[in-house]
A and B are shown apart, each in its own frame.
Chain A
């Protein structure tokens, strides 16, 4: 069920009305749990079945850790094997199966099953990280496992965030699930601007700019200039799409009395790569920091082999961002994109430019922003490229501009980027400079009008559904 479909809004209205009518925390939780499974299994009940099946082991393994602390490592290993195994199977099966089938065919073993394409269940990457965060924290003694299966299952399947996050920590979401909720009007007052902005970003900005982005990245060999303009347009599309989704998720959760994490904090105003990852997809970044980066750093520090400081500084972000790239998908472009950020973070750190670095001189500040923004745009260019060969061809073989038509199309793309990013700048200015006035209501009224104009019965899925 997509947030932009009418089905979802009818579903939300029914669940919302029923939720606030029934009494008691447990009944409310059970209703949300059922709603989560309906929402998730709407396209295929098989998805909901798989969600349930993968939730059970983690609940009991966590309980087992508390009952038998001496077996914690074994139980953790089992959970990692199950979760990472399932994720890796669905994410990377298609990547390797064709090669494997060819290899077997060369050995005289025909296996047609390997050529069957598997569809990655939407949200698997997100709820797997939620479960892993829970089980790792329980194993470390940082979290008491919950005794109620329904509460844990709701933590995993909470419908506003099951498909594309935010990847909330159990410490944030479980206490909210375990405590009672009574209706407050402020839930609605907080929710509606978020939901409206989310729809506006998705329907008006992301879906409009998507058209030209798809056209440019469908070309066999665009010029370097067109590629860069396409990457710039994609930079806007992915922000509007993903932050729009997050806004709707946060607003929807708020309607049920839940507060879920913010995922974006003006990421394109970053001055360094570390700063960017502190502002972009924040819940994924903090997950990677806490469960990959820090444990790896501890392991390196405890290691008997003393590595040079510069090497430690380089290895940590490169490995972490490599994992981030792999998490995004089975494709070399994602791996290279992850490594690209790993290398950028290492270089900045080796130059002693940390995440919170902010030059005092306005010229230097502007320059630092421009350099980082260019890195971000190029990074999205790698991310959106259909293949590494395609990217290599553009970077090394294509001229900057092939014909005058390239320049015109590039400028058309730039016009679209300027026009469709303008509402985001206006919103930013309103948030900064105008708190209590008619400007915000006017902005939302205009946004609603534009949503009606741009509404289409076939809005494409959110980009992050595929991860």
Chain B
């Protein structure tokens, strides 16, 4: 009994101390609105690309786009000037920000925006929004991003988390504290050898980023990360659509006279999931997009993309890329012609 009372007393003291210290160190006022804070700087990388290259078609996607489509070849085959805005590790929150804060803000707007996605990623707003992905998002976000905040963060928090985020500095600042603690621990021993932060980071990069990964481990890591996209919740289109960025992206493109084209890519992960649930999801998505006048090209189960064209569960090989670029060009020509005839 005495022990628990002492613990509670000391815990209260610690909370009080951290309250003052954290509010002061991170310049935060409490109570505050829950969710992360973004800085007001927006990177204009894609605005400059649009204004320099003046493409008629822009492709948005992650590394599967980078390895999956050759933009120059696509330009050649379609006769449309194409630019690829591929950002490895990106997902729907990032594509929404690029569309909202770069593409529609550029003086030269493309006629077509293609978003290349896989399975449920377009209606999974919380996918890839934390940790290093947050840094990537912050580059393209303004301070005031209500849609992003709501869909990617607040909708996914339970009331207890929202309360803690808005009320307790220790909880609200935990990501920064953890990052700083982690850095302090990581660099303590090597600093005695004269290796500073840059030297440490370079070594980590050299060993892990440029290394060849063990194939089995790589597959497991991809499958584990992608597992988020195949939970019952993510596969429930009706439940997810209004909580996603897709309606806002459609609205933004329509408002700016841009034809949105959504391209579903094939991955080897899809085959390992519940086929009926995915079929149901894709059926609902397709119906929704047709109602919204969005072109939808579905390569998700295309038999021409055989396993041999994949470098891993997600990414195509060079041969796969060449084949898929031709397939995409062919489908695009038909779809855009049909769209023009409407």
Task: Give the B-binding residues of A (Cβ under 8 A).
Answer: 6, 117, 185, 189, 192-193, 208, 214-215, 217-222, 226, 386-387, 390, 403-406, 408-409, 411-412, 414-416, 418-420, 438, 440-442, 444-446, 448-449, 452-455, 457
Contact = CB atoms under 8 A, between A and B. Distances in A.
Contacts of A438: 6, 10
B14 A449 contact: yes
B216 A386 contact: yes
Given A412-B190, A438-B10, A441-B10, 10 more contacts: A218-B217, A220-B215, A226-B207, A390-B214, A405-B203, A405-B206, A442-B7, A452-B168, A453-B177, A454-B178
B178 A220 contact: no
B217 A444 contact: no
A271 B211 CA distance: 38
B203 A404 contact: yes
Given A185-B1, A189-B4, A440-B3, A220 B213 contact: yes
B7 A441 contact: yes
Interface stretch (B47-55, B180-188, B280-288): B180-188
Nearest to A457: B161
B334 interface: no
Contacts of A219: 207-208, 211-214
Nearest to B176: A453
A220 B4 contact: no
B65 interface: no
Q: Which of A6, A189, A412 has the most CB of B within 10 A?
A: A412
A1 to B, nearest CB: 15
A189 B170 contact: no
B173 to A, nearest CB: 9
B202 A446 contact: no
27 contacts: A6-B160, A117-B272, A189-B3, A218-B221, A222-B207, A386-B214, A386-B216, A405-B204, A406-B207, A408-B190, A408-B199, A408-B200, A408-B203, A409-B204, A409-B207, A409-B208, A412-B190, A412-B203, A414-B189, A419-B185, A438-B6, A441-B7, A445-B14, A449-B11, A452-B168, A452-B174, A455-B171
Nearest to B17: A449
A420 B215 CA distance: 30
Interface in B1-31: 1, 3-4, 6-11, 13-15, 18
Contacts of B132: none
Given A6-B158, A442-B10, A220 B212 contact: yes
Nearest to B208: A215
Nearest to A422: B185
Interface in B237-255: none
Nearest to A404: B203
B197 to A, nearest CB: 11
A411 B189 contact: yes
B186 A412 contact: yes
B195 interface: yes
Nearest to B193: A411
Contacts of A442: 6-7, 10
Contacts of B272: 117
B186 A416 contact: yes
A222 B171 CA distance: 37
Contacts of B185: 415-416, 419-420
A442 B3 CA distance: 9
A418 to B, nearest CB: 7
A412 B187 contact: yes
Interface string B224-262: 000000000000000000000000000000000000000
A445 B168 CA distance: 16
B218 interface: yes
A115 B204 CA distance: 38
Contact of B189 (A214, A418, A455): A418
A197 B309 CA distance: 49
Nearest to A439: B6
B175 to A, nearest CB: 9
Q: Which of A219, A441, A457 has the most CB of B within 10 A?
A: A441
Closest 10 CB pairs of A and B: A441-B6, A408-B203, A445-B10, A405-B203, A441-B7, A415-B189, A220-B212, A445-B11, A405-B206, A218-B217
